[in-house]
């Protein structure tokens, strides 16, 4: 998206419109400075930690279940041979495969839930910043605002003004 914005803003010599100012913001600096971004990044890290904890819990639960099933299987196998033994082995193999699939689905569902919450938080923060940038750009008579990395030459740095407006 940034590359597209940068490409679209390139103009040939003599095509620049008078009074059409281009501004830019240093997103890296904003993300490191603004408490809203710091909080959103912390929230994302907390979601990652919660997912790891959930996955570890499910793994422990799975291992305990496997140990119990192994004991049950050993009891059932006592005195069995041939087809009867194969049927018991197959029964437990099927149970294990079904349990693995179930646990994987639960972990993926939890991951999607947490990711959705993290993305929602980041999206709220992004929209909040867009509102501030739009206000600052309007006040400064800037018609286009890009990220600092998309600017090769020129433009008006709005980063400090955005930081100031965010504090108000």
Confidence of residue 133 (pLDDT cuts 50, 70, 90): very high
**What domains, with CATH codes, occur in the chain?**
22-167 (3.30.910.20)
Residue 144's DSSP bridge partners are 22
Residue 138 has pLDDT above 60, yes or no: yes
Q: State the DSSP H helix or E strand holding residue 23, giving kind and residue range, or none if neither.
A: strand 21-25
- At 11-30, the pLDDT tens digits run 333 333 445 589 999 999 99
Q: State the DSSP H helix or E strand holding residue 126, giving kind and residue range, or none if neither.
A: helix 82-140
Residue 31: which of 21, 44, 50, 20 has the closest Cα? 44
Q: How many CA atoms lie within 13 A of 44 on its CB side?
A: 13
Confidence of residue 75 (pLDDT cuts 50, 70, 90): very high
pTM of the model: 0.66
46 vs 65: CA distance, rounded Å = 29
């Amino acid at each position: 998206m940034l590359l597209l914005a940068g490409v679209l803003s390139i103009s040939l010599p003599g095509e620049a419109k008078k009074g059409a100012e281009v501004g830019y913001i240093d997103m890296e600096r904003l993300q490191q400075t603004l408490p809203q971004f710091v909080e959103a990044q912390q929230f994302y890290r907390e979601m990652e930690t919660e997912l790891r904890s959930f996955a570890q819990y499910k793994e422990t639960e799975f291992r305990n279940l496997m140990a119990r099933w192994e004991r049950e299987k050993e009891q059932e196998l006592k005195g069995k041979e041939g087809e009867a033994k194969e049927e018991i082995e197959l029964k437990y193999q099927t149970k294990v495969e079904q349990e693995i699939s179930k646990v994987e689905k639960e972990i993926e569902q939890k991951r999607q839930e947490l990711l959705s919450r993290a993305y929602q938080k980041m999206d709220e923060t992004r929209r909040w910043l867009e509102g501030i940038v739009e206000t600052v750009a309007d006040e400064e008579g800037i018609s286009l605002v890009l990220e600092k990395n998309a600017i090769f030459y020129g433009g008006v740095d709005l980063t400090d003004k955005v930081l100031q407006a965010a504090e108000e």
